[in-house]
Amino acid sequence: MSLNSQFLGNRTFSRHLVSRQYQQKKRKKMIIAGLMLTSMVDMFSLLVIFLLQNFSASPELAVVAKGVKLPVSSTSREIKDAPVLSISEAGIYLDQKFVGLTEELLEQPSPLMEKLQGLRETWQKSHPNQNFPGEISVQADQAISSAVVSRVMGMLPSQAFGSIQLAVVGGGRG
């Protein structure tokens, strides 16, 4: 291969080779830096997706209704994914939607019964050919008397909610 002197101009052939090698190394560095950045973004994307899936499926992150301070218990188990009935001094909530005042619902429970029946019917429509498990979690404020909590819990089996979990904060000393 011959290079004519017009192509090289005033530079020597050895300077031309050194310059050419430097440009090739510079191009390789730019490509490698781009690939490292792409793979790092991919890695972080996968990490975010993994964390979102784990935390969204974790039942330990159940939301406690506003105004409800759960009682402390020496024994506790992991909660199941189920509808949440919250009993507080402000009222009764089903899946964070206000149903009514506690005293009014104890006197006239039909609004609560209608909401529970609607919840059961919705579950049965979305799970055809399966038996209704009847699971529900009850979050009762520790200031509410046990008689009120037991009266509300006594209404649940009439709407086929027989598996009742009482939400507590674990770690207390018995």
Q: What is the mean pLDDT of residues 142-149?
A: 85
Tell me the pLDDT of the chain averaged across its residues. Answer: 76
Where are the domains positioned within the chain? 5-57, 60-170
DSSP secondary structure, the chain, as one string = ----HHHHTTS-HHHHHHHHHHHHHHHHHHHHHHHHHHHHHHHHHHHHHHHHHHHHH-GGGPPPPTT--PPEES---PPPS--EEEE-SS-EEETTEEEE-HHHHHH--HHHHHHHHHHHHHHHHHSTTS----EEEEEE-TTS-HHHHHHHHHHGGGGT--EEEE--EE----
pLDDT for 22-59, tens place per residue? Answer: 777 766 666 555 556 777 788 889 999 888 877 765 45
pLDDT band at 174 (very low <50, low <70, confident <90, very high): very low
pLDDT band at 81 (very low <50, low <70, confident <90, very high): confident
